[in-house]
Amino acid sequence: MDDEGRILLIHRADDQTWGLPGGGVEPGESWSQAAIRECREETGWLVRIVGLFGIYSDPRTQTHVYPNGRAVHFFGAVFKGELIELMGEPSDESIEVGFFPLYELPGPIFPADQPIIDGLLSSGESPFIS
Concatenating the DSSP letter of every residue in 63-80 gives: EEE-TTS-EEE--EEEEE
Concatenating the DSSP letter of every residue in 38-64 gives: HHHHHHSEEEEEEEEEEEE--TTTSEE
Query: Are the C-beta atoms of 98 and 1 separated by less than 8 Å?
Result: no
> Under 8 Å CB-to-CB from 17, ≥6 apart: which residues?
11, 107, 108, 109, 110, 111
Taken in order of first residue, the domains within the chain and their CATH numbers are 6-129 (3.90.79.10)
Per residue in 73-130, pLDDT (tens digit) is 888 888 989 999 999 899 999 999 999 998 999 999 998 899 888 888 886 566 666 6
Distance in angstroms (rounded) separating the CA atoms of residues 83 and 8: 10
pLDDT on residue 36: 97
Per residue in 11-35, pLDDT (tens digit) is 999 899 999 999 989 999 999 999 9
pLDDT on residue 67: 85
29-33, 42-46, 51-55, 92-96: range with lowest mean pLDDT: 51-55
pTM, to two decimals: 0.85
pLDDT on residue 30: 95
> Highest-confidence range of 46-50, 55-59, 72-76, by mean pLDDT?
46-50
